[in-house]
Structure 1
Amino acid sequence: MAKKRILLKIGSNTLTKETNHISRGKIEDIGMQIAALNDKYEFIIVSSGAIAAAKQFVKLESNGKEIIVKQALASIGQPHLMRIFHENFSDLGLLTSQCLLSYSDFEKEQSKVNIVNTINILVENNYIPIINENDTVATDEIQFGDNDKLAALTAVLLKVDLLIIATNTNAIYTKESIHNEIPETIPLVNDLQLLEKEIGDSKSSHGTGGMKSKIEASAIAKEANIETWIVNGLKDNFILDALKNNIPFTKIK
C-alpha cells in the first residue's frame, strides 16, 4: 500500500514554543511523531524559524532597513535551524534535507517540474524535505504569511493527501466564544466564506501569519481537493492526537 503524504507546516511560534529561542524539545516531539507514523505516512515539512534561530545569538543594526535585516537574519539562522532539525531527527533514525523555494519558482513550469522531481526522489529515499522560503532573495513570507501560503502551494504541487498547519491555539475559535472569553474550536468547515467572518486580523507574535493567512492557505488547498487541518502545535503529540481525533482542531474539508 502506498503511504499517505502529509505536508506539515510549522510556524515560528510553534518552533519556539512562544519563547525567544528554537525549542529542541518541540523539534524532537515532531520527529518522534514522524518516526511513529513512518509505516503509513510520508512527511514533507515547511518550516519557518530561521529568523528566530538567528535572534538567539546575534543582533544586527537595522538603520531603518527592517526587511533587509530580517533577510540577513534568515541567512544566518537557516543553517542553525537545519542543524537542530538534523541533530534531533538523526537521533531518531530520520534523514533530513533542505529545500529553499520562492514564489517565482511556482510561476515557471520547468521550476515546478524540478521541485516535484527533486522532492519525490528525496521522499522515495526516506529523506524528509524541510522547506523554507529563500528569504535572502524574496521577502513575501517575511512580510506576511509565515510560510502558510508557501505550504499550500507546495501541498498542491506535490499532490499531498493532507495539509496540517501547526499553530499556537486550539485551531480556529468561534467569534462569539472569544467574545465570551471561553474559546471554542470550530471542528469542521465546509464554507470558507462563513469562516472568514469568524476570524480577526491578528498576527502571531514571532511569525507574520495569523488565522487569516491560514484560511487563505486552506482555500488554495481546498481548490485542489486537499483537506487542511489547523492544529495546536504547542501540544506534545499533536499530529498523533489529531489523527486519532483526541484533541480539538479545525478540519477544513
Structure 2
Amino acid sequence: MSSRSVITGARRLVVKVGSSSLTGVDGGIDHGRLVALANALAHHHLGGAQIVLVSSGAIAAGLHPLSLRTRPHELALQQAAASVGQGALLASYTQAFGRHDVTVGQVLLTADDVTRRSHYANARNTLERLLELRVMPIVNENDTVATSEIRFGDNDRLAALVAHLVDADALVLLSDVDALYDGPPSRPGSKRIPLVTGPADLEGVEIGGSGSLVGTGGMTTKIEAARIATEAGVATVVTAAALVRPVLAGDDVGTLFTPVGVRGRSRRLWLRHATTARGRLLVDAGAVAALTQRNTSLLPAGVVGVEGSFLDGDPVDVCGPDGVPVARGLVNYGSAELPPLLGRSTKELAAALGPEYEREVIHRDHLVIL
C-alpha cells in the first residue's frame, strides 16, 4: 500500500493555507488563487471527505483598504487590519465555495479559548457539529482580540492543534514552497525530501524562516507543526498551494511526515503547545518526583516560590530546584493568593482558612509533563 494512501483515504482532513499563498504582488488577496483553492477543496468535500480549512489572510486582506504596504509590526494595527480583512476574506470564501453549494462557517480561536477546560470542549463540539452538518469550518486565529500573551504565534501550529482537536486523519500544510528540501530550494543541487519518518531524517537539513512580506511562518514553523501533529498520530504533508489537487489525489508531491504517536484526544497536547506560561512555580525535589514519576497533582506543600503575575486558571510553568521547567499546568490560585499557602498541607489550610482551600495548586488533569 502506498504511503500516500493515508491522505487519499483520510475521512477527515485539516488543510491550512498561508497568507503568501493567497496574496498577489500588491499584498492583497488574490481572488484567483483563493477560488482555485476553493474549487479543489470543494471537489474533495463533495467526494465525501470532511475538511476543516485553517486559513491565514485576514490581516493581508485588510492591508489594501488601510493603505498598508506590508504586514504591520504594531499589535493594535495588526488587530485593526484583521478586523477589516476578516469579513472580506470570509465573504470571498463564501462566494467561492457557494458556487459548489458548499456551506462554510467561520470559527475564530485564541489560545486562551482552547486551554481553559470549558472553552476547549466548546471549540471541539462546535467543530464537530459543523462537520456533522456538512459545513466546512474556516478557522483562523482571532487576530482582532488576541494579544501577544495569548497568541498561537502562527497558523501552522494552530492547524496542527486543530487536527488534534477534531481527531483528523491527516493534515495538509499549504504554502508557496512545494516541499521540504535538504537545502535552500533556490540552491542548485538541493533535493526534495519526499518522506520524513522521524527526527533522524532531518539531521543536516538547512531550514529557513519566512521570506514573505505578509506571512508569519516558514518551513521552520511547518516542521514544528508536523511534529505536533505526528506526535498526535496525524499524518502531515507540506507542499505548495498550487499542488493541492495532486496531494489530495495521493500523488508523490511535497513532503510526507508519517505519524510517530497514537491518535486520541487530550487537552494535554493543547496545554503543551498552545499556551504561554504567565508565571512560574518553584517546587522542591520531592514535588518534582511526585509529578514526573507518580503522576500526582501539585500540592501547596511542595511549592517553595512564586514568580510572575497570574490569575486563577492561567497556565504556569512548574520549575524544579535548578529552575528548569518540568511541567506546565492551569493553576487554581492567583499569584497574589499563593504565597501564604506555600509549604502547608491542604488539610492544614482547610482547617485554618476554610474547606475551599483543601484543593490542589494544579490538578493532575490540568498538568502536562514537559
TM-score (norm 1): 0.88
Q: Which one has the largest radius of gyration?
A: 2
Q: Does 1:51 align with 2:59?
A: yes
2:230 corresponding residue in structure 1:
222
**Cα deviations across residues 187-245 of structure 1 (Å, max 9, x unaligned)?**
00012354264133321312010111111111111111101100111x2xx22201334
Q: Does 1:93 align with 2:98?
A: no
**In percent, how many aligned pairs have the same letter?**
35
**1:71, CA displacement in angstroms?**
1.3
Q: Which structure: greater helix fraction?
A: 1
**Cα deviations across residues 69-123 of structure 1 (Å, max 9, x unaligned)?**
1111111111111111111111221101111001112211211111111111111
Query: Larger relative CO (CA 8 A, sep 6+): 1 or 2?
Result: 1
2:20 corresponding residue in structure 1:
13
Q: Does 1:251 align with 2:284?
A: no
* Aligned pair partner of 1:137 in 130, 133, 145: 145
Q: Does 1:240 align with 2:248?
A: no
Moved more, 13-22 or 43-52: 13-22
1:24 corresponding residue in structure 2:
31
**Cα deviations across residues 151-199 of structure 1 (Å, max 9, x unaligned)?**
1111111100100000111111112x74842442110001235426413
Distance in 2 of aligned mates of 1:192 and 1:159: 23
**Cα deviations across residues 50-69 of structure 1 (Å, max 9, x unaligned)?**
11101122136xxx971221
Inter-CA distance 165–145: structure 2 relative to 1 (3 Å threshold)? farther
**Cα deviations across residues 34-65 of structure 1 (Å, max 9, x unaligned)?**
222222311101111011101122136xxx97
2:111 corresponding residue in structure 1:
103
**1:17, CA displacement in angstroms?**
4.9
Q: Secondary structure at the match of 1:111?
A: helix
| RMSD, matched Cα | 2.7
Q: Does 1:188 align with 2:195?
A: yes
Q: Secondary structure at the match of 2:112?
A: helix
Distance in 1 of aligned mates of 2:118 and 2:55: 24
Deviant stretches of 4+, over 6 Å: 141-144
Inter-CA distance 27–59: structure 2 relative to 1 (3 Å threshold)? same
* Aligned pair partner of 1:209 in 208, 214, 217: 217
Distance in 1 of aligned mates of 2:132 and 2:13: 14
CA contact (8 A) 1:6 1:44 kept: yes
CA contact (8 A) 1:167 1:232 kept: yes
Distance in 2 of aligned mates of 1:14 and 1:56: 17
TM-score (norm 2): 0.61
Distance in 1 of aligned mates of 2:74 and 2:38: 33
Moved more, 15-24 or 78-87: 15-24
> Size of the alignment, in residue pairs?
247
* Aligned pair partner of 1:231 in 231, 234, 239: 239
